[in-house]
A and B are shown apart, each in its own frame.
Chain A
Amino acid sequence: MNRVYHAFGSSFGQIQGVHSTDIHFLDYVTLTLCILGILIVAYTIFFRKKDFVNDNVSKWILLIAFLILSPMAYVVNFTIALERTKPVSFCNSCHVMNGYVDDLKNPDSEHIASLHYQNRWIADDQCYNCHTNYGIQGTINAKLSGMRHIWKYYIAGYDTPVEYRGTYDNQMCLHCHEPVSYYQDVPEHQENKKAIESSKMSCFGLQCHVSPHPKDAWRTTKKDE
């Protein structure tokens, strides 16, 4: 097992495919709030040059900047930023994911994730949809995991080969597949219903379904090209 660290400023780990220039309405709102906040604080502190603790006007201006504009800018940005972490392109921005995303787009691939991606069985944000449990708890856990991934990628380093942490929750598959007849008609699904639902039995491997990703996908990174 090897430990890999991100090399800042090198081509190793360059950002891939994130649409940095896509600026939407809410970005303009955030930007306006930020610029307004910066201008107000800078003007009051550096240019007004008054005793702003005893100056009522400065006090109120700073109160608006500190307690209204800045928190508002943060909250709006937080909401947009979380949405922007969902697309496949964001996951692909860490080079360790390049192999997985390359396989998603490979027309010859027969891996489950690739089939879901290429046939648009999941319309958008395919990584996010298969790696996030349903409900608000699932979203929160996914975001916390994402932050842990970013932390490990940039700062703490990560171990290779890259492996799924814990047990994959079959409910992420069953949410779509379980209610449909082609799933229910398979005798193995009925015989192992409880084990499948509780994730004690994996959907992948044995005589069941092929692996979702190639086992050595983590090796196929832009670094290796």
Chain B
Amino acid sequence: MDKTVTIAGLINILGLISIILSIFGFDPLTFITSITLGAIFIAVSCITYLYVVIIDMKNKGVL
């Protein structure tokens, strides 16, 4: 589980870096990267983290 969260964290950081790049060097390439890859990375990291939380709650008998 820790490994999954670490991967989610790395993906999330990549998504945020793509957004920062589009702020400092706005051009068609950084724009498209930030709104497509950024969205995918951030969504994947959110879903992965939620998945880990739900599994953890199930294991602890909360859900």
A171 close to chain B: CB less than 8 A:
no
Within the assembled complex, what's the spacing in Å between the Cα atoms of A44 and B22? Answer: 26
A150 close to chain B: CB less than 8 A:
yes
Q: Report the contact-size class of chain A (Cβ under 8 Å from the partner).
A: 35 or more
Within the assembled complex, what's the spacing in Å between the Cα atoms of A70 and B38? Answer: 10
The answer, among A42, A53, A62, A71, for a CB contact under 8 Å with B13, is A42
Q: Report the contact-size class of chain B (Cβ under 8 Å from the partner).
A: 35 or more
How many pairs of A and B residues are in contact by the CB < 8 Å rule?
105
Nearest-CB residue, chain A, relative to B29: A154
Majority DSSP secondary structure for residues of B touching A: helix
> CB distance A53 to B19 under 8 Å?
no
A127 close to chain B: CB less than 8 A:
no
A30-B19 in contact given A45-B9, A52-B5, A66-B12 (Cβ < 8 Å) = yes
> CB distance A84 to B31 under 8 Å?
yes
> CB distance B49 to A81 under 8 Å?
no
The answer, among B20, B26, B34, for a CB contact under 8 Å with A31, is B20
Apart from A37-B16, A42-B9, A53-B2, 12 more pairs, CB < 8 Å: A15-B28, A20-B27, A23-B23, A34-B16, A38-B13, A67-B49, A70-B42, A70-B46, A77-B19, A84-B31, A90-B28, A153-B28
